[in-house]
Amino acid sequence: MSSRVSAKDKAEADERLGSSGTTSRGPDSESAGECRAIAHSNIALAKYWGKRNRELNLPAVPSLSLTLAALSTTTRVKFERSLERDSFELNGQPGDATATTRVSELLGRVRRAAGLSCFAHVTSSNDFPTASGLASSASGFAALALAALGAAGLTWPDSAVSDLARASSVSAARSVFGGFVTLEAGATSAQTLAVGPVAERLMMLIAATEMGPKAVGSTNGMLHTQATSPYYSSWVDTAPRVYAELLSALLAGDVQKLGETMEHSALLMHASMIAARPALMYWSPATLAALACVRELRQRGTLAYFTIDAGPHVKVLTTSEHSTLVREQLLSVPGVRQVLVSGVGRGARILGEP
C-alpha cells in the first residue's frame, strides 16, 4: 500500500467518484463481475467524533489509528444482471434495512464511476466473535469498497479507495491502510504513517464486556453530541492539539506519552458525549472496573493505557512483553467476557479466489 496522498491521487479520486465511467471495465468484460477483499478493524488512539460536513461525511477533527491484525472482515461482491436490487448478507444472515441501504449507497458510487447498471450480491463475514458487539463499520466498509471496485473492474489508488470507504463511514477510510494511520480534519482520505521500530512492540488488547441495552450507533451518537452538547465545541477546539501531541509522542517512540495522550483523547470525547442532552453514556460497571484494572497495573509498573469507543468495551495499549499479564488481569475483571489480543495489522487487500 502506498504511503502518501499526492495531489494527483486526490484529483484522480475526486474525478473517479464523480465520473460517469471513463475508467470502467464492467461485468461485461471477462475478468470482472466478482471480487473478494479483506480489511482489518482499527482503533483510534486520537479519536474522531463529529462531522464537519454531514452530507459529504467529512470529519470535524483529526484522528490517528492503529490497524488490528486480529480483527478483520472479508467481503465478496458479485454484480449480477438477474438481480432486481442489491442484497447484503452479514455472517450468514440477511443484513438489516439500514445496513443494506448503506451498502447499496457505496455500490451506487462504484456503479456511477464504472458506468454499470446491474445490482450486486454482497456477502460479508467477520473473523471476530460477532455476539460481542465489537462489529465495526471500519473494516466492513473498507473491505466493501475494495471488493466493489474489484468486481466493477476498477483499479484505484489507495487514497481513492480510502475516499470511497470514508464516504460511507469515516473510520473506514483508515482501515484501507495498515499500521498507524492518520486522517486530518476535513480530509477525504487517510494516510499511512511511518513510525519506526516502536510499532513492532505495540499490542492492543480488547476487553469485551457484557453488553447492556442496544447502544446508540456512532453516527447518531456524534450527531446528537454536535446538536446538544455544550462541550462539543471545546472537543473540536481541543482535539487537534491532542492529536498533534499524540503524533509527536508516536514519532518519538515515547510509549508512555502516547498512552497518556490516548487516554486523554478518549476521555475528552466521552466528556462531550456525557454532556449531551439526554446524556450519551456508553460505559457500564465493567467498563469502569476495567479502567481501574488498567490504572492499577500501571501503578505496579506495567505498561497499559486504555481507550473506549462508542460502546462499553475497553481497549488497552501495551507492549508484547506486558501483554500476557495485562490479558490475565483484564480477564479477572467482573463483567469482562473475553480479551482479544492483537498486533499491528496490514492494509486492506484483494483476495485471490472470489
- List contacts with ligand DP6 (CB under 6 A): 44, 47-49, 57, 63, 137, 169-171, 218-219, 309-310
CB of 1 to ligand DP6, least distance (A): 19
Q: Work out the burial of residue 274: count CB atoms within 10 Å of its CB; fewer than 13 is exposed, 13-18 middle, 19 or more buried.
A: middle
| Residue type, position 184, single letter | E
Residue (24 or 226) nearer to ligand DP6, CB: 226
Spell out the residues 6+ positions from residue 323 whose beta carbon is closer than 8 angstroms to its own: 203, 205, 341
Q: Compute CA distances 182 → 175, 258, 270, whole Å.
A: 10, 15, 21
Residue (217 or 285) nearer to ligand DP6, CB: 217
**Are the beta carbons of 346 and 38 closer than 8 angstroms?**
no
Residue (119 or 141) nearer to ligand DP6, CB: 141
DSSP, collapsed to helix, strand or coil, labels residue 246 as helix
Backbone angles phi, psi at 63, to 5 degrees: -135, 160
Residue (56 or 131) nearer to ligand DP6, CB: 56
Residue with cell 500476557: 324
CB of 18 to ligand DP6, least distance (A): 20
Backbone angles phi, psi at 238, to 5 degrees: -85, -35
Residue (116 or 310) nearer to ligand DP6, CB: 310
CB of 173 to ligand DP6, least distance (A): 8
**Are the beta carbons of 83 and 121 closer than 8 angstroms?**
yes
DSSP, collapsed to helix, strand or coil, labels residue 19 as coil
CB of 36 to ligand DP6, least distance (A): 23
Residue (102 or 322) nearer to ligand DP6, CB: 102
CB of 354 to ligand DP6, least distance (A): 27
Residue (169 or 318) nearer to ligand DP6, CB: 169
CB of 29 to ligand DP6, least distance (A): 33
**Are the beta carbons of 317 and 201 closer than 8 angstroms?**
no
Residue (54 or 81) nearer to ligand DP6, CB: 54
**Which candidate, 39, 40, 48, places its Cα nearest to that of 309?**
48
CB of 213 to ligand DP6, least distance (A): 18
Residue 141 C-alpha cell reads as: 466498509
Residue (191 or 329) nearer to ligand DP6, CB: 191
**Are the beta carbons of 226 and 235 closer than 8 angstroms?**
no
CB of 57 to ligand DP6, least distance (A): 6
Spell out the residues 6+ positions from residue 61 whose beta carbon is closer than 8 angstroms to its own: 47, 48, 49, 50, 185, 235, 236, 239, 240, 243
Residue (263 or 309) nearer to ligand DP6, CB: 309
Residue with cell 470529519: 59
CB of 82 to ligand DP6, least distance (A): 31
CB of 192 to ligand DP6, least distance (A): 16
Kindly give the pairing relationship between strand 119-126 and strand 87-90. Answer: parallel
**Which candidate, 351, 345, 352, 350, places its Cα nearest to that of 174?**
345
Output the DSSP codes for 65-112.
EEEEEEEEEEEEEEEETT-SS-EEEETTEEPPHHHHHHHHHHHHHHHH
